[in-house]
A and B are shown apart, each in its own frame.
Chain A
């Protein structure tokens, strides 16, 4: 495996809700290698976005990073002064957000929004930045870049806006692209187009991508490695191949079974009972235990550590081996 581009270690993030605190991320550690496509999968409230956004300093004011490091090329993002972090955002790390409708500035021409990133980082002069913006728009599959440069976001369709978002993120040729649910707000045919575009750009630019998604279909078809988050903890982290063949965490298994796919008309459903918790205190036992069919007394009293059960396959479950044996 190549060298880690971004290494997050023991990250803990809490949100202050006034009357109580939400423990959104509880000791998450993982890394993204150079050139790797990492999928971070989880349901809403699992902390999948918060993990990466807090590393970039992009969470809301009421969110506090309690501990951990996030080393990007060896430098800890969490210890940087705001100015240093600003230099990295947009230049070394680009971000694509979920909702292209609200994520673009409504009163700024889209061309200027793309150029802004290059000008901020002195990546290019005005003239070159302009030329490069046209080039980017063309690469993103936006027809007539010159005319469209001067348009405002509301004059584009959802899919086109997401292409503009990607152009913004890629403007300074970052080494890492973080895509936070990049296709969730889009129709399926458009989702495919956007993923194809991301795939193509990734191969061309040789950059790393972290895709945050709730969709196993997207993650498994796109990514090299997959992390499953639940209640702000990593439940399972594995190469996609292992993940597909031998899921070892009951939550992963349950989640995979929850997906209904084409051609499964006669299938029996076996939903995971209950719902994901919102932690208002740090987890002291397995957060999934109350919904887990394999839970034992130990699961309800002891927090399982994330352990490597086979090379590059990490699971946070006391009974992972049994699950594996049962599943095979």
Chain B
């Protein structure tokens, strides 16, 4: 009797569903995350074109219209010196993004380099780098940022460094643990058995499998750095006035709140929604792409 079955049994027609595709499908079902992504996208666009659409420069105070409420002339009102709040917010978004992205990049680059070094080299390098990580975790990185602001000053670049440099430890620890778990895993062992070189293993096997976790950690890092930047302003160590920033606006609003609540509505609202959106996106990415979120 003929057996019309292949040895391995029927295989469903492959659907070519890569992990990325499946993750994206899960992400797009998370409405909060999608909404967050839309806001983040708007935030980025405004950050890029903000200076061109701003009706006023952040430096031009309208002394004839100090602390006026929202009107057609000044959409979000003016502050105590006569700056247009709407324009200030547009510029704030730009600076906030510049600093947060710059700082996150700085942390990330240092963290990835040191994390890879610790994980791949092992031995004494690993011990030293991990001691450094322990050291950074002993104090909140915000305090290191404070001290760095003293050293570097309050410009855009210095802010990026002050917030970015102390943030490396988290990334380094993550990368190292990913590298270690994979280095001792069967996938890398199999690749070694095939005769793959170190760089081939790193780029073709390890990298595609860590990129998801790295993106997720970056997504969590950006809102953290946005918060840190505003937090520095709260204690008077933020971006140098008159450069506008959410932190400065919030700090100022806190002091002048009694008569002019609009100074708070818009900056606080936009800032809060932005942070929330970033968190929704980060959380959505984590749930959609982390290994646990799989099944």
Contact = CB atoms under 8 A, between A and B. Distances in A.
In the complex they form, do A and B come into direct contact, defined as C-beta atoms under 8 angstroms apart? yes
B1 A273 contact: no
A291 B5 CA distance: 7
Contacts of A294: 1
Contacts of B1: 293-294
A275 B10 CA distance: 8
A293 B1 CA distance: 7
B121 interface: no
Interface of B: 1, 3, 5-10
A274 B3 CA distance: 10
Contacts of A291: 5, 9
A29 interface: no
B8 A275 contact: yes
Given A275-B9, A291-B9, A294-B1, 4 more contacts: A273-B3, A273-B5, A273-B9, A274-B5
Contacts of B7: 273-274
A31 interface: no
A191 interface: no
A220 interface: no
Interface in A271-303: 273-275, 290-291, 293-294
B136 to A, nearest CB: 31
Contacts of B9: 273-275, 291
Contacts of B3: 273, 293
Nearest to A294: B1
A298 to B, nearest CB: 14
Contacts of B5: 273-274, 290-291
Interface of B is mostly: loop
A290 to B, nearest CB: 6
A291 B3 CA distance: 8
A45 B9 CA distance: 15
Contacts of B8: 274-275
Interface residues of A, number: 7
A52 B265 CA distance: 61
20 contacts: A273-B3, A273-B5, A273-B6, A273-B7, A273-B9, A274-B5, A274-B6, A274-B7, A274-B8, A274-B9, A274-B10, A275-B8, A275-B9, A290-B5, A290-B10, A291-B5, A291-B9, A293-B1, A293-B3, A294-B1
A291 B7 CA distance: 10
Contacts of A275: 8-9
Interface of A: 273-275, 290-291, 293-294
B15 to A, nearest CB: 11
Contacts of A274: 5-10
Nearest to B11: A275
Nearest to A17: B295
A7 to B, nearest CB: 35
Give 7 closest A-B pairs by Cβ, nearest first.
A274-B9, A275-B9, A274-B5, A273-B5, A273-B3, A293-B1, A290-B5
Nearest to A296: B1
A286 to B, nearest CB: 14
B195 to A, nearest CB: 32
Contacts of A293: 1, 3
A294 B3 CA distance: 9
A290 B1 CA distance: 13
A275 B7 CA distance: 9
A273 to B, nearest CB: 5
A275 B6 CA distance: 10
Interface centre among B1, B7, B9 (most CB of A within 10 A): B9
A294 B6 CA distance: 16
Nearest to B4: A290
A207 to B, nearest CB: 37
A144 B5 CA distance: 57
A275 B8 CA distance: 7
Contacts of B6: 273-274
A294 B2 CA distance: 10
A293 B5 CA distance: 10
A294 B9 CA distance: 17
A277 to B, nearest CB: 8
Nearest to A291: B5
B77 to A, nearest CB: 50
A146 B9 CA distance: 54
A273 B8 CA distance: 7
B28 to A, nearest CB: 15
Nearest to A275: B9
Nearest to A273: B5
A155 to B, nearest CB: 25
A231 B7 CA distance: 19
Contacts of A290: 5, 10
A222 B6 CA distance: 36
Nearest to A292: B3
Nearest to A290: B5
Nearest to A271: B7
A291 B9 CA distance: 8
A296 to B, nearest CB: 9
Contacts of B10: 274, 290
A290 B8 CA distance: 12
A246 B5 CA distance: 27
B11 to A, nearest CB: 10
A291 B8 CA distance: 11
A172 B9 CA distance: 46
A275 B253 CA distance: 69
Nearest to A274: B9
A290 B9 CA distance: 9
A274 B8 CA distance: 5
B17 to A, nearest CB: 11
